[in-house]
Amino acid sequence: MFDLLPEFWTPVLPVAEVENAPVAIEVAGERLVLFQNLKGEIGTLLDRCPHRSAALSLGRVSENGCLACPYHGWEFDRDGACTRVPFNNPADLKLSQLSAVGLPTRVIAGLVWIFTGKGNAPEPQLPDSLMKSQESYFIHHEIWNAHWTRVVENAMDYVHVPFVHRNSFGGEIGKSAIEAGSFAEFQITQREQSVEVFNNFHNIESGFLLEWHQPNLVVLKFDEIGMPVRVHLFAIPIDRHQTRYLNAIELLNPHAAGMMNEFIAPIVEDRVVIESQKGEIPPTNGECNVPTDRATLIFRCWYHQTIASKRVSI
Ligand code: FES
Ligand SMILES: [Fe+2]
């Protein structure tokens, strides 16, 4: 289950998109259904009824806030427990044996998060900048035709900026760095579940900080007109060929919402290039590597040791 991203917490959609109607979504090769119960709590189930395998997402949320299957109307609560089987005498049933598969689900930073594993989920370990209320974030998401590892790597890669973004935010700094004959420098701090990278060019005023957090989050940290900005980039695998690129930008000032398009517009510049790369990132001895690939090679090493080497087959 979830071979592309097993045993991790990951966001899947903005909570604002999960209202009363069930929402079908695919995450890491698994079809899921998200729904909200009467208390406003979100549940995530595998999108497969335990009775005859119909898609639960075709059903509806019943009067008591359970998800009712479209085929024979069995109902399930947000943990997957079966609560009703129409036309059968309850005395003849063992409801505890009729459960759908539920996944641990949380709402954090205006996003629905799931744990892609069975059994008890550990507490999610997230940066402080994701611990604000829902209103504190501007959220954008779109689907890229790329493997999720290529998308994470792109977000960690400093020296693509003058080339991919030469017609937007990368133009000026790229021109200065090329004219000055600059070399890129990296100060890298590895932590248990994250890596901090300070990037700059050695002989001009430049630089910004990024953090990669296992497994699929990159936080970009910089100042914009004197305000600190935190851009959270998530690469959420849909399947081997598609990734949901989700951006959650912390609004440090209520007036900042109007500036968000400035951060979203250049995404298409990355997307065109990343969609031209085929398949997952190779191991660290694959493709050609140079010193400016130091940060992304840390991610490649982790990915192949932690995920790629353990999967049965994808
Ligand atoms: S298939 Fe879902 S109730 Fe029968
Ligand atoms: Fe980029």
Q: What CATH number is attached to the domain comprising 208? A: 3.90.380.10
Last residue of a domain, one of 97, 124, 151: 124
**pLDDT of 312:** 66
Atom of ligand 1 nearest to the CA of 54: 1
pTM: 0.96
Count of domains for the chain:
2
Ligand nearest to C-alpha 48: 1
98 half-sphere exposure, CB direction, 13 A CA radius: 17
Query: Are 109 and 25 within one domain?
Result: yes
Q: What is the CATH number of the domain that holds 31?
A: 2.102.10.10
- Residue ranges making up the domain that contains 298: 143-313
Q: What are the per-10-residue average pLDDT scores of the chain (314 residues)?
A: 96 92 97 97 98 98 97 98 98 97 97 93 95 93 98 97 95 95 97 96 92 98 82 98 96 75 91 97 96 97 95 60
* Residue at 40 is within a domain: yes
Q: Give me the pLDDT at residue 308, please.
A: 94
Give the integer Cα–Cα distance in Å for 256 and 136.
Answer: 11
Same domain as 157, residue 115: no
Rounded distance between C-alpha atoms, residue 222 and residue 173, angstroms = 14
Using CA atoms, how far apart are residues 27 and 9, in angstroms rounded to an integer? Answer: 12
On whether residue 96 sits in a domain, the answer given is yes
Asked if the structure places residue 134 within a domain, the reply is: no
**How far apart, in Å, do the first and last CA atoms of the chain sit?**
11
Residues 83 and 209 in one domain: no
Q: What is the C-alpha separation between 246 and 236, in angstroms, rounded?
A: 8
User: Which of 47, 52, 57, 87 to mutate to test ligand 1, by most ligand atoms within 8 A of the CB atom?
Assistant: 52
Last residue of a domain, one of 95, 124, 153: 124
Does ligand 1 lie within 6 Å of residue 52's CB atom? Answer: yes
- What is the distance between the alpha carbons of residues 193 and 125, in angstroms, rounded to a whole number? 8
Element (H, E) at 268: helix 267-274
Q: Are 111 and 41 contained in the same domain?
A: yes
Query: Are 64 and 190 members of one domain?
Result: no
d(C-alpha 29, C-alpha 280), whole Å: 15
The pLDDT, as a whole number, for residue 313 is 53
Is 132 domain-assigned? no
